[in-house]
């Protein structure tokens, strides 16, 4: 697929992942599979109330229960840990109350941890937790953001005065004038319910504090071991060099396992207090009230156009409910900020006005989850432009062709502040139109409408900020490293060992790194082993999040590979008495480029380099291990982009939506492994479809979670998902040698946009529209009812089953 | 707060005799322990995963007398007299080899947490010998949640095995 394939197993090769044989034979080692000597098991007593005064806690009976090692309350735990204040310093006015590990006098969301019980087995810990007696005085709770900012609303943190966490506005050009002079204005209000990442493996860790030397080892199912090392050091006052955080096999992350969780830190404190390893794995039911959640927005947006079809202005007003505290290190402003800054990005216009507000409510914290605010921007933009095209009487594809930023205008800065350099909107769109057979589908859609079958086509263009750099996180005050590093060692037998600061939760990043190392050294990727996710042994780095692993860690690997190759060639030159600049490495052989002949194998270079230094010239400096790091110090992000299409059918009698087809064309820069890229896109798409059609954390008005089981929180299963057809455009990132951008989130972003447009496209002839996600059958039927269309009558006239 | 009836129930043990992964198994198990916990905690067969422990996600799928069953909804005590197969046994016997190869070739797994259950469910389908459509495959595996792949590659892999069987 890639035009850049250099070797059968190197960059561009469609090769399977190296971990899969192990993972598919039951030999994975996930956090709950691991046992340490003298290991104890923790579970938590959590607040049953969204907002309540804790009157008393009685742990006496629990402490006497069989197998119990300790029962700790806030009085035992909280003073051991510096409180978290999830405030972004680069966002003036952003504020949060300090968050402590366990609720002491008051709980502010249902599920907030109150007591940690540690026992010989998880079952015994759970039995003992049942014996903890808590007495609560419920307080008024608030769930909805509109209520939370209304006068007289219960204020969650009295010291803040009200519930507003953040209020930010931006304006570019003259939006008021543009709207006043517009020929066409389209205005919409949208609502996005809360979602969960729902990794199939829940969160977990084993904290192992060794009182003998004061060291802490944590095996942590987390996306960023370095982030956690820094947190454990700073908040628990352990010298950083005495902390080692390693990652086991991880059963999915999607950003959720990037956040900082009070129950996980409390587990570490318990290990410190007990001097024994303590395991804590979240069970599924508590994941519903303790995993960071996502979305929960109300958005008003509008677009202004001239009759000529030119977009003159856009506006966004975002109001989100971010839970009871600011998320430590990753903040709760990101969704709103991304939503307002990326809205409209693919389209040329000059005047823009936007506002985002984050509001505290008595719900679980909002944190990182795949896509963050980018799907909201994509949905708002593509819904508005699709409606605008319709109003203009222009086909939506033609509208996009005319209004995308022309290639000649790049690089440019969008009114929302997005820097567009190597984006490829037009190329992606033209490929997509061919891939999906757009014209034929439109014909089919029109034919079927005559027969009472309501199908919709939605096309969504998206920008995906990938691989944030230090200009983003640096000024935030959070100790988030946006660099990654790589250590390479030539083994005596001529193979290569790679230690990367990256982690892998299933993306296949470690395989991509092996491919990059293989090409940059001159070996096949089978000759490269890759270890990641260990804060003690690799260069410092960020890990896998924000679609950055291959882009940043891959670049570090390429540079390390180039360095190792030079060192090998210097040694080979000394051994063979050939000028180093006449040598290269191909397939584990050092080749004389002038003769084309192999002069020495890497196995011989390794053997001599490690065991026969006596045969080398005096003072020859043998260096067969190299380390390097890479950071894009001046880059806010690498901007990936793409276009997707959905084809859906609505059953007007039941409100069910069937997804008939999904197409995606993505540009993530240079593709290292097309197989892995395809599957990132497909997996993201299904999560995106799930978000639009099914996924919703349903809260009562007083903030009780009403659907906290997997039977009640619907996620996409295979039966209702379509086959997904893919293609790619490859526009390499110009600022790196590797040229890769990220691919982790585009699938989800584009699918959410195309699904919103497609469902509403299907509803158009019925005079209906749906603006409240997820699009449950109930909401579709409500939309149809609101449109006062009796679908039964329409269908009865000429009903035929759909194709 | 202590409830003597419940306290007793937790500790009560039951003797079982079963065949696990082709070998005889004779144990005393806790009456309240579910099969997946028994496999994972007592026998250290950690290839069977737990995703929800309430019967929805399918990660804990095992075969009992050749039929898929939820390890989290089956008590260990219930396997007495039965034959149980897990990912470990079916890998060792080579019965999953074809499916595993097709899954690997298509990257039909990312985090791998659903894969044991998914493979066993797929095995039940392919070992029925029926020629089925992609829609049938999707339907058959729809009790196994995969959060990573989007299912398409899994359906491709299962289909490849079924088509391959049809040719032989």
| Length, in residues, of chain B | 168
B96-164: CATH topology is DNA polymerase; domain 1 (1.10.150)
User: What is the side-by-side order of every strand in the sheet holding B23-30?
Assistant: B23-30, B13-20, B83-85, B61-64, B67-70
Question: Concatenated DSSP letters for A294-319?
Answer: EEEEEEEEEEEE-TTS-EEEEEEEEE
Asked if the C-beta of B31 comes within 8 angstroms of chain A's C-beta atoms, the answer is no
How buried is residue A126: exposed, middle or buried, by Cβ count under 10 Å (0-12/13-18/19+)?
Answer: middle
Give the model's pLDDT for residue A477: 85
Which of A127, A195, A200, A687 is best to mutate for the B interface (most B CBs within 10 A)? A200
Mean pLDDT of A547-564: 97
Mean pLDDT of A224-241: 98
Contact state of A252 with B148 under an 8 Å Cβ cutoff: yes
Name which of A117, A133, A116, A114 is nearest A66 in CA terms: A117
Q: Retrieve residue A540's tokens.
A: 């410092």
Report how far apart the first and last C-alpha atoms of chain A are (Å, whole number). Answer: 33
Mean pLDDT of A666-678: 97
CA atoms within 13 A on the CB side of B79: 36
Give the model's pLDDT for residue A800: 46
Contact state of A252 with B139 under an 8 Å Cβ cutoff: no
Q: A285: nearest CA in chain B?
A: B52
Nearest CA distance, B153 vs chain A (angstrom) = 8
Contact state of B111 with A505 under an 8 Å Cβ cutoff: yes
CA distance A692 to A388: 22
Contact state of A200 with B1 under an 8 Å Cβ cutoff: no
What's the farthest any 2 CA atoms get from each other in chain A?
A: 95
SS3 labels along A490-544: ECCCCCEEEEECCCCCCCCHHHHHHHHHHHHHCCCHHHEEEECCECCCCCCCCCC
Q: How many CB atoms are located within 10 Å of the residue A451 CB?
A: 14
pLDDT for A611 beyond 70: yes
CA atoms within 13 A on the CB side of B7: 9
CB contact burial B58-82 (16+ within 10 A = b; e otherwise): bbbbbbbeeebbbbbebbbbbbbeb
Contact state of A721 with B150 under an 8 Å Cβ cutoff: yes
pLDDT, tens only, A319-374: 999 999 999 988 889 999 999 999 999 999 999 999 999 999 999 999 999 999 99
ipTM of the complex: 0.96
Which overall architecture, per CATH, does domain B4-87 show? Roll (3.10)
DSSP tag of B79: G
Name which of A119, A12, A31, A7 is nearest A69 in CA terms: A119
Mean pLDDT of A518-543: 97
Question: Concatenated DSSP letters for A363-375?
Answer: SPPB---TTTTHH
B145 interaction partners in chain A (CB closer than 8 Å)? 200, 710, 715, 717
Q: Retrieve residue A519's tokens.
A: 């090409």
Nearest CA distance, A691 vs chain B (angstrom) = 12
pLDDT, tens only, A370-423: 999 999 999 999 999 999 999 999 999 999 999 999 999 999 999 999 999 999
pTM summary value: 0.96
Listed in sequence order, the residues at least 6 apart from B143 whose beta carbon sits closer than 8 Å to its beta carbon are A717, B58, B121
pLDDT for A297 beyond 80: yes
Q: Retrieve residue A677's tokens.
A: 């890229």
Q: How many CB atoms are located within 10 Å of the residue A47 CB?
A: 21
User: What is the side-by-side order of every strand in the sheet holding A184-196?
Assistant: A164-172, A351-359, A311-321, A293-305, A184-196, A772-773
Which of A15, A26, A223 is best to mutate for the B interface (most B CBs within 10 A)? A26
Contact between B41 and B61 under an 8 Å Cβ cutoff? The reply is no
Mean pLDDT of B116-143: 97
pLDDT-above-70 percentage for chain A:
97
Q: Which residue has the tokens 């404190």?
A: A269
pLDDT for B6 beyond 60: no
Q: How many CB atoms are located within 10 Å of the residue A56 CB?
A: 8
Contact between B72 and B62 under an 8 Å Cβ cutoff? The reply is no
pLDDT, tens only, A646-664: 999 999 999 999 999 999 9
B95-134 residues touching A, CB cutoff 8 A = 96, 100, 103-107, 109-116, 119, 134
Q: How many CB atoms are located within 10 Å of the residue A167 CB?
A: 15
Q: Retrieve residue A701's tokens.
A: 């008005």
Q: B110: nearest CA in chain A?
A: A506
pLDDT-above-90 percentage for chain A:
94
CA distance A375 to A572: 52
pLDDT, tens only, A76-133: 999 999 999 999 888 889 999 999 999 999 999 999 999 999 999 999 999 999 999 9
Nearest CA distance, A28 vs chain B (angstrom) = 7
pLDDT, tens only, A441-490: 999 999 999 999 999 999 999 999 999 999 988 888 888 999 999 999 99
B93 interaction partners in chain A (CB closer than 8 Å)? none
A123 interaction partners in chain B (CB closer than 8 Å)? 10, 32-33
User: What is the side-by-side order of every strand in the sheet holding A589-592?
Assistant: A583-586, A589-592, A597-601
Q: Retrieve residue A518's tokens.
A: 């293989």
How buried is residue B88: exposed, middle or buried, by Cβ count under 10 Å (0-12/13-18/19+)?
Answer: buried
Give the model's pLDDT for residue B4: 52
Backbone angles phi, psi at A386, to 5 degrees: -65, -45
Q: Retrieve residue A498's tokens.
A: 């790679």
In chain B, domain spans: 4-87, 96-164
Give the model's pLDDT for residue A332: 86
Cis check: omega of the bond before B153, within 30 degrees of 0: no
Q: Which residue has the tokens 């014996």?
A: A131
Helix (H) or strand (E) holding B140: helix B134-140
Give the model's pLDDT for residue A85: 93
> What three-state secondary structure class fits A163?
coil
Give the model's pLDDT for residue A798: 46
Q: Retrieve residue B63's tokens.
A: 């075969």
Give the model's pLDDT for residue B155: 98
How would residue A802 be classed by pLDDT, with cut points 50, 70 and 90? very low
Helix (H) or strand (E) holding A336: helix A334-342
């Amino acid at each position: 697929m890639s035009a850049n394939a250099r070797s059968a197993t190197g960059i561009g090769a469609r090769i399977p992942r190296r971990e899969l044989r192990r993972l598919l034979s039951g030999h994975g080692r996930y956090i709950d599979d691991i046992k340490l000597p003298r290991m104890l098991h923790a579970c938590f007593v959590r607040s049953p109330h969204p907002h309540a005064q804790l009157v008393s806690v009685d742990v006496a009976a629990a402490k006497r229960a069989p197998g119990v090692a300790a029962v700790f309350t806030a009085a035992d735990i909280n003073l051991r840990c510096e409180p978290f204040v999830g405030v972004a310093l680069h966002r003036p006015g952003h504020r949060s109350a300090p968050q402590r590990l366990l609720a002491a006098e008051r709980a502010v969301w249902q599920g907030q941890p109150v007591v940690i019980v540690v026992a010989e087995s998880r079952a015994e810990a759970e039995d003992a937790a049942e014996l903890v007696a808590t007495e609560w005085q419920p307080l008024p709770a608030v769930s909805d953001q509109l209520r939370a900012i209304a006068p007289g609303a219960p204020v969650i943190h009295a010291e803040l005065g009200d519930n507003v966490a953040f209020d930010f506005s931006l304006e570019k050009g003259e939006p008021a004038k543009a709207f006043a002079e517009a020929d066409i204005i389209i205005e919409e209000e949208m609502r996005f319910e809360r979602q969960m990442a729902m990794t199939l493996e829940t969160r977990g860790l084993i904290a192992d504090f060794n009182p003998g030397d004061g060291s802490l080892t944590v095996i942590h199912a987390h996306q960023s071991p370095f982030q956690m090392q820094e947190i454990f050091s700073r908040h628990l006052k352990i010298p950083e060099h005495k902390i080692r955080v390693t990652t086991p096999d991880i059963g999915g992350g999607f950003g959720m396992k990037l956040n900082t969780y009070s129950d996980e830190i409390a587990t570490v404190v318990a290990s410190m207090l007990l001097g024994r390893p303590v395991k804590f794995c979240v069970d599924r039911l508590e994941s519903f009230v303790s995993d960071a959640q996502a979305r929960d927005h109300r958005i008003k947006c509008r677009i202004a156009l001239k009759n000529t079809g030119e977009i003159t202005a856009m506006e966004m007003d975002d109001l989100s409910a971010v839970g009871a505290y600011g998320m430590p290190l990753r903040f709760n402003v990101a969704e709103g900020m991304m939503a307002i800054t990326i809205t409209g990005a693919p389209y040329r216009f000059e005047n823009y006005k936007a506002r985002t507000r984050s509001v505290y409510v008595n719900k679980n914290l909002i944190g990182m989850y795949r896509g963050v605010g980018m799907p909201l921007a994509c949905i708002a933009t593509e819904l508005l432009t699709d409606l605008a095209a319709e109003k203009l009487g222009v086909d939506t594809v033609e509208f996009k062709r005319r209004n995308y930023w022309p290639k000649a205008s790049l690089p440019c800065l969008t009114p929302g502040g997005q820097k567009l350099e190597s984006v490829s909107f037009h190329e992606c769109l033209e490929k997509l139109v061919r891939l999906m057979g757009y014209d034929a589908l439109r014909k089919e859609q029109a034919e079927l409408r005559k027969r009472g079958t309501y199908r919709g086509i939605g096309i969504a263009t998206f920008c995906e900020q990938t691989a944030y750099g230090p200009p983003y996180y640096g000024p935030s005050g959070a100790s988030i490293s946006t660099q990654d590093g790589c250590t390479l060692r030539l083994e005596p037998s001529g193979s290569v060992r790679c230690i990367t600061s990256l982690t892998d939760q299933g993306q296949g990043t470690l395989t991509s790194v092996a491919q990059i190392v293989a090409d940059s050294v001159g070996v096949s990727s089978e000759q490269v082993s890759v270890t990641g996710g260990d804060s003690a042994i690799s260069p410092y780095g960020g890990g896998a999040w924000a679609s950055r692993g291959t882009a940043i860690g891959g670049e570090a690997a390429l540079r390390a590979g180039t360095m190792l190759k030079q060192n090998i060639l210097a040694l080979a030159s000394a051994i063979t008495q050939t000028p180093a600049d006449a040598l290269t490495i191909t397939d584990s052989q050092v080749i004389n480029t002038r003769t084309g002949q192999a002069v020495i194998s890497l196995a011989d270079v390794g053997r001599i380099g490690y065991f026969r230094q006596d045969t080398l010239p005096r003072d020859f400096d043998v260096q067969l291990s190299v380390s390097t790091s890479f950071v894009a110090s001046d880059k806010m992000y690498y901007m990936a982009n793409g276009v997707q299409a959905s084809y859906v059918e609505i059953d007007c009698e039941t409100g069910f939506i069937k997804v008939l087809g999904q197409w995606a064309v993505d540009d993530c820069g240079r593709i290292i492994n097309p197989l892995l890229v395809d599957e990132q896109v497909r997996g993201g798409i299904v999560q995106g479809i799930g978000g639009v059609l099914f996924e919703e954390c349903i809260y009562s008005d007083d903030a009780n979670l009403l659907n906290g089981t997997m039977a009640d929180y619907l996620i996409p299963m295979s039966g209702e998902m379509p086959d997904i057809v893919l293609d790619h455009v490859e526009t390499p990132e110009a600022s790196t040698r590797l040229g890769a951008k990220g691919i982790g989130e585009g699938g989800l972003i584009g699918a959410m946009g195309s699904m919103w447009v497609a469902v509403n496209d299907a509803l158009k002839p019925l005079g209906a529209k749906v603006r409240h996600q997820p699009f449950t059958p109930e909401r579709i039927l409500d939309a149809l009812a609101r449109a006062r269309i009796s679908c039964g009558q329409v269908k009865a006239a000429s009903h035929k089953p759909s194709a | 707060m202590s409830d003597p009836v419940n306290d007793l129930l937790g500790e009560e043990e039951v003797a079982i005799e079963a065949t696990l992964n082709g070998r005889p198994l004779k144990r005393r198990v806790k009456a309240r322990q579910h099969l997946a916990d028994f496999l994972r905690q007592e026998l250290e067969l950690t290839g069977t995963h737990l995703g929800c422990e309430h019967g929805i996600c399918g990660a804990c799928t095992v075969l009992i007398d050749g039929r898929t069953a939820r390890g989290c909804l089956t008590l260990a005590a219930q396997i007495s007299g039965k034959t149980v197969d897990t990912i470990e046994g079916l890998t060792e016997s080579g019965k999953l080899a074809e499916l595993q190869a097709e899954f690997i070739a298509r990257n039909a797994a990312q985090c791998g947490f659903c894969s044991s259950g998914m493979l066993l469910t797929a095995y039940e389908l392919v070992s029925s010998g029926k020629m089925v459509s992609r829609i049938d495959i999707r339907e058959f595996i729809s009790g196994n949640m995969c959060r990573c792949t989007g299912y398409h590659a899994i359906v491709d892999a299962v289909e490849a095995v079924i088509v391959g069987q049809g040719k032989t």
